[in-house]
Amino acid sequence: MKLETLKELNTERAARRPVILVTDTENGQQRLVKAADFVTDPLRAELTKQLRMGKSGMIEAGDKKLFLNVYAPTAKLVIVGAVHISQALAPLARSLDYDVTVVDPRTAFASPERFPDVPLIAEWPDVALPPLDVDHYTAFVALTHDPKIDDPALLHAFQRDCFYIGALGSRKTHAKRGERLRAQGAREADIARIHAPIGLPIGAVSPSEIAVAIMAEITAQLRLPAKEKEAAA
């Protein structure tokens, strides 16, 4: 790899922007494709597919064999609410290589005893969330059922373009949530992005089952093409 290409690659990775290195396996020629350039690249379909899967791999394009080396940011999961569901969700997400953080100002809930080996921030969302650098590669779930905590957290997630936003509660609860968020300046498009009731409809009842449903929905949002996401919803 040329030094200039390596520097450019490291710059993109440091900024948490996905990038793919395309290598011609016959002659060794390489080029770097940034995420912003995918839509105009001749290999846009293949690039998009490999990035969505998060895997490097060999493809054939015309008479060429190309290796696509995928550099995608590590996905984050921000859990607002140190509740029973979170206790099951945090280790499940970590087993899938997410960087997990739990936020809850209620210190009785956000304790190391309840969340061993999981980063905890026992602060209100306006203090806790900005330093986390929430971005497009972040899944964001609000689980407290407390509007004073969940609502400002969701407003922050809207601003940071998280790839997944989910919130606990029934349809009736979510309708009331929508009214509150509109009153605080949220757009209809923002509210429509919230997955609520949260999780895939698998009949989950226990906290552990609900955690599985949530993680399945997050995975579908990250990995599936747009049409298949709609079918899974």
Q: Which segments within 1-112 are labelled E, that is strand?
A: 19-24, 30-34, 57-61, 64-71, 76-80, 99-103
Do 205 and 99 fall into the same domain?
yes
Do 186 and 199 fall into the same domain?
yes
Stretch 21-38: mean pLDDT: 93
Structure tokens at 213: 């449903």
- Amino acid at residue number 171: R
Predicted confidence band of residue 232 (pLDDT cuts 50, 70, 90): low
Q: Which residues contact 181 (CB under 8 A, 6 or more apart)?
A: 151, 154, 155, 190, 191
Do 226 and 117 fall into the same domain?
yes
Q: Which residues contact 41 (CB under 8 A, 6 or more apart)?
A: 33, 47
Q: Which of 44-58, 61-75, 150-164, 219-233 bottoms out in mean pLDDT, i.e. has the lowest?
A: 219-233
215: CATH: 3.40.50.720
Do 213 and 118 fall into the same domain?
yes
Do 99 and 213 fall into the same domain?
yes
Stretch 86-111: mean pLDDT: 96
Do 34 and 94 fall into the same domain?
no
pLDDT for residue 233 is more than 80? no
Domain end, chosen from 71, 104, 123, is at 71
Do 105 and 17 fall into the same domain?
no
CB 166 within 8 A of CB 198: yes
Domain end, chosen from 71, 91, 108, is at 71
Do 67 and 117 fall into the same domain?
no
Instruction: For Cα atoms 218, 201, 179, give the angle at the middle one, nearest 5 degrees.
Output: 75
- Amino acid at residue number 204: A
Do 168 and 88 fall into the same domain?
yes
Stretch 219-225: mean pLDDT: 90
Distance CA 82, CA 120 (A): 9
Number of domains in the chain: 2
Domain end, chosen from 11, 44, 71, is at 71
Predicted confidence band of residue 131 (pLDDT cuts 50, 70, 90): very high
Do 219 and 134 fall into the same domain?
yes
Predicted confidence band of residue 166 (pLDDT cuts 50, 70, 90): very high
Give the closest residue to 36 by CA, choosing from 54, 61, 56, 15: 15
Distance CA 44, CA 159 (A): 27
Structure tokens at 32: 């770097």
b/e 159-181 (16+ beta carbons within 10 angstroms → b): ebebbbbbbbbeeeebeebbeeb
Stretch 11-15: mean pLDDT: 92
Residue range 185-195, pLDDT digits in tens: 999 999 999 99
Predicted confidence band of residue 2 (pLDDT cuts 50, 70, 90): confident
Do 149 and 60 fall into the same domain?
no
CB 84 within 8 A of CB 207: yes
Higher pLDDT, 230 or 226: 226
Instruction: For Cα atoms 216, 220, 225, give the angle at the middle one, nearest 5 degrees.
Output: 170
Do 202 and 215 fall into the same domain?
yes
> Residue 54: what pLDDT?
86
Domain assignment of residue 131, given as a range:
76-230
